[in-house]
Chains A and B, each alone.
Chain A
Amino acid sequence: MSKYQVNSKGYYGPFGGAYIPEMLYPNVEELQNQYLEIIEDPTFKKEFESLLRDYVGRPSPLYPAQRLSEKYNAKIFLKREDLNHTGAHKINNTIGQILLAEKLGKKRIIAETGAGQHGVATATVCALKGLECVVYMGEIDIERQAPNVARMKMMGAKVVAATSGSKTLKDATNEALRDWINNPVDTHYIIGSVVGPHPYPDMVARFQSIISEETKKQLLEKTGKQNPDIVMACVGGGSNAAGMFYHFLNEEDIQLIAVEASGHGVDSGESAATTVLGHEGVLHGSRSILMQTEDGQVIEPYSISAGLDYPGIGPQHAWLFKSGRGTYVSATDDEAMQAGLLLTKLEGIIPAIESSHALAHLEKMKFKGNETVVICLSGRGDKDLDIYMKYFGF
């Protein structure tokens, strides 16, 4: 077992675990006891793979970005998760979890969502399987993300406004957990990132690991070697990064770079750069690094990108950061917006603003010209057109 993967007690180094009230214990224990057996089962794997192929459209291309490579003097490949059905990597996880929920005999699905991408991906697989779906979304996010709310409703999901606290992603997660407490028997909670109590961080990372699994094969075909020199991804909770890093974790000479959102700047008071601003603590069921006051109250983060403004990071990321295996950096709103526009102009690809944060870090790197770099393009920018329009005045 790799020292960067979860141990038998649900921990990554000192991070992880299952800090849940007793009311959630039966549901979480059921998952802990069964998730590996279910997802390692050949029938499950076959179903998962065929849905990823025929429904999601995998494998997603590994695109050699010629003009971007010329600009930065490196061989840059983009892993095109933006071309997946529903427009982001989120669907890899929801396909996996809906199949798991079926095997567990669950009749009702709940999920939290921030910008709505995970909510849409969950509503999609519930429509696909004909299961009842309830998505919790912060009241403020419902106002900001009307098209995604409409998508979920079209697919038959019930969207419930989280009206507590700051009325955004963190509070939507609280409401989903409360729903799960009150519905302990027939409901499965599809968490959208590598956060939450064990086994969620590991389970979600496994479903997302298809990203790096494909990347290895595709790199081998394209370059003759399966390992890049540098792998980059953006991190909110960290699910696309977890999938992008997964099969490279043990290859210590591959540099793993995770880019957080620093909003208006790390020291501006409006940021989501968790590894810089956070401390060890417990949020949403696991011990990790989170942004909090001295008294242990969780601080509401800020980023222009709704998918990155989460006050914590997954426990595996906390461990990769603390152990030094991963390099955690950040990009501001402005840097990300410029990087998004640059990719659009150079390659004709409009990236999600989340993914633009990963691209933004290229500006701060110095290449010799022969490095192979893979960047996870986690989502497409259609959902962000409003923000791009306002920012650049198109």
Chain B
Amino acid sequence: MIQINKQANGLLSIYFTAGYPSIDSTLDIAEELEKAGADFLEIGFPYSDPVADGPTIQHSSEVALKNGMTLKVLFEQLKDLRKRVCIPVYLMGYVNPVIQFGVENFCKACKEVGVNGTIIPDLPMYEYEDLYQGIFEENQVSNVFLVTPQTSDSRIKKIDSLSTSFIYLLSSNATTGTQLNVEEQSEAYFNRVKEMDLNNPLVIGFGIHNKETFEKATKYANGAIVGTAFVKLLAEDDYLEKIPGFIKSIKG
């Protein structure tokens, strides 16, 4: 399985919500993104109460749930994942659906379909370590943790020690869809983390929406994640055909 490399730079990752805009769009979008040049993917599984998300991704979750998307349906769809997509794929969502699915079942299913890892924002480090780390490791599922401008150095080091794929740096303390503003403050924060010389690659997310913000972010990190801007594109007609142009507009 392809992994995200610490020596790599300028990696572009795209987030989209499974089951949005239609129930069976998940793999078509993933395949099209890979063809267009995305380097890795985050596929969101929807939740009724997404507190870390702004209005755009909230809306996509709501529609996906109405369309009938569940973890069960998603894993069924992902059975063909590795026939159609080679780049790394991470599942992103909230912890409650994972708990109901069963954490062990969830990790096993991730392994079976060839998902590289997970991003579960409301599963904090302590709870992960105390309750679930063994299950994730047994199934070779990398759990990715978030770091914000307010996260202390000692906590970042701890996160680095628990991580096995990459660290998700939030551009600001905000919900998704907030504009990236590379001011002195966030530059200092990006530099602070960069200079810590961590074991894991760094990927910056939240507020990356065009070439300019992508280039700014990838000065400090191995890659950057575009979420809200891409989910907005999915609301348009013929969105599949627009994917190559979208990726090009960011990566050049």
Contacts and interface: CB of A to CB of B under 8 A. Distances in A.
Answer yes or no: do A and B interact.
yes
Interface of A: 9, 17-23, 25-26, 164-165, 170-171, 174, 177-178, 181-182, 184, 279-285, 292, 294-298
Given A23-B170, A23-B174, A181-B51, A17 B127 contact: yes
A174 B124 contact: no
Contact of B95 (A279, A282, A292, A298): A282
Interface residues of B, number: 40
Contacts of A19: 95, 122-124, 127
A16 to B, nearest CB: 11
Contacts of A165: 48-49, 62
Interface string B172-190: 0111001000000000000
B233 interface: no
Nearest to B52: A21
Contacts of B72: 295
Nearest to A17: B127
B124 A22 contact: yes
A interface, by DSSP: helix, strand, loop or mixed? mixed
B122 to A, nearest CB: 5
B30 interface: no
B97 A296 contact: yes
Nearest to B53: A178
Contacts, number: 110
B145 A281 contact: no
Given A21-B122, A23-B146, A296 B62 contact: no
A181 B174 contact: yes
Contact of A279 (B51, B71, B100, B146): B100
Contacts of A297: 47-48, 65, 97
A182 B170 CA distance: 12
B174 A292 contact: no
Interface stretch (B35-43, B147-155, B236-244): B147-155
B58 A164 contact: yes
B99 A281 contact: yes
B150 A184 contact: yes
A170 B146 CA distance: 25
A138 to B, nearest CB: 13
A18 B145 CA distance: 15
A142 to B, nearest CB: 18
A182 B175 contact: yes
Contacts of B47: 296-297
Interface in B75-101: 94-101
A296 B148 contact: no
Contact of B99 (A9, A184, A285, A296): A296
B123 to A, nearest CB: 7
Among B52, B71, B101, B178, the one with the most A-chain Cβ atoms within 10 Å of its Cβ is B52
18 contacts: A9-B126, A17-B127, A21-B121, A23-B148, A25-B151, A25-B155, A26-B150, A165-B62, A174-B49, A177-B51, A181-B173, A182-B178, A281-B96, A281-B99, A282-B96, A283-B49, A285-B122, A297-B65
Contact of B100 (A20, A23, A26, A292): A292
In order of increasing CB-CB distance, the 8 nearest A-B pairs are A296-B100, A296-B97, A21-B121, A22-B146, A26-B150, A295-B70, A297-B48, A184-B173
Given A295-B70, A296-B99, A181 B175 contact: yes
Nearest to A166: B48
Contacts of A282: 94-96, 99, 122
